[in-house]
Structure 1
Amino acid sequence: MIPLNELDQNLFLPHVGETFEILEEGRVYPLVLESVRDLGHRRPDAKRNPFSLSFRGSPGLRVPQRIYQLTHPELGTFEIFLTQNSATSEGTELEAVFN
């Protein structure tokens, strides 16, 4: 599993448009990484620049905000806090913010 402190935007940028999966109670939910956004300058004591990840899940996907285990064929497994931002007929938008 990739430690949280090793996750940065450069790790995710090459994987925009690719599928990640939430592993939840024996079920798998695919999410497409839609964007990686730089959120500005880091604090002097921070080890990385703040950034966010936006994912799109299937229409009708409803998940509470909390820490989820995600997996990707190349990156492997890691845990991040996801918040559901919107749900439309086109899909469900989830976001993770890293400070």
Structure 2
Amino acid sequence: RAGALLRESLPKILTDKMAGDPRPVDGSFIDENLRGTHSDRLFQVALQDGRTAFIYTLIEHKSWPDMGAPLQLMGYRHRIWTRYAQDKPERRRALPPIITLLV
């Protein structure tokens, strides 16, 4: 279900690069104090060129446009890359792209 939803929600230029369906990755990357109003999910997907990418989805209720959202999402990306490279410093040389979908 998630694969179909992501393919419908993401731009075609991105979904055309996907070689298979996204697989969920365990864990959450949002702050503990925000978990009551936010829900996130990370997926891993193989790309046509053999690389891997992440798709990070964040469902969040905001009553107004939040100009700080890009910085908030950058912090979550940092956490994803940090966990990805944890105990494997060689992974820092080629971090996989993270596609972000904010709803």
Higher helix share: 2
Q: Which has the larger radius of gyration?
A: 2
TM range (shorter): 0.3 to 0.5
Higher strand share: 1
Q: Could you state the TM-score of these two structures normalised by the residue count of structure 1? A: 0.34
Q: Could you state the TM-score of these two structures normalised by the residue count of structure 2? A: 0.33
